[in-house]
Amino acid sequence: MREQHTDRYKVMDITLNNGIEMPLLGFGTYLLRDGSACEQAVLNALNVGYRLIDTAAAYHNEESVGRAIKKSNVKREEIFVTTKFLPANSGYENAKRAFETSLGKLGLDYIDLYLIHLPQGDINSSWTAMEELYKEGKVRAIGVSNFTTDQIGHLLEQHSVIPAINQVETHPFSQKTEMQKTMRSQGVQLESWAPFAQGRNNLFNSELLKALSDKYNKSIAQVVLRWLIQREVVVIPKSANLKRINENFNVFDFELSFDDMVSIKSLDKGSGLIYHV
């Protein structure tokens, strides 16, 4: 990991399998629908210091994300932009068209990370198209989302470019420890969506997480984000609330002890609560 300096905190970067650096903490935009509210949330996140912005064609907000990037005072090369396409656009030609559509909506010259959103449809042809986009320099890295390790293994057997990322549901109740080990051996980075389990399993009232929150004088959300970051899992919390956007970013001025990291393992249920991978 490398430390990236902002005006406020040291933000850690992870190096992907092709040498590209990606922030460990980013800003998610799921359920932030296209419009001024989404645009303002992304602009607030960039102003706070986030440099990874995650969107998808299915979120219907790429245009708002693009407008926020343009309005910000942050240089394009300092922002790591991720977007994704759905199975309806799978296949070689469809994937190429989906990419150009997203690029146009974002108003960008390139995308930092392009993902297959779900392991459905013609995955092999889609990946061939993505490999070409990568080799042409239109995308800095390519990856997948919601794939099992077996599905990643199949891609590795069929293609030359290893996915840089697998973005999956990862939180205290679905920790993906074994998946992370396997993916590391394959050269694939784990990225968490739904780090707070969308509030399920009463996460924000967990006695263990509450105790850690009190110990470190941090919120439960901050404890969870710090736990993921110390596991070297990329994480993309989402909020439209400026206070929470700030709070979620303020996780680089403390560190969970080894024993506390181990204690959180007891919360793992072994499978996803939202998408069962």
- Which amino acid is it at 221? A
Q: Locate tokens 């303020």: which residue?
A: 250
Q: Is position 9 annotated as part of the catalytic site?
A: no
DSSP 6: -
**Contact in structure between 59 and 32 (CB atoms under 8 Å):** yes
What token pair was written down for 231? 């596991």
**Catalytic site residue from 9, 30, 50, 59:** 59
On whether the CB atoms of residues 1 and 24 are closer than 8 A, the answer is yes
Cβ-contact 225, 195 below 8 angstroms: yes
**Cβ count near 143 (within 10 Å):** 26
Check if the beta carbon of residue 27 is closer than 8 Å to that of residue 52.
Answer: yes
> Mind telling me the catalytic residues?
59
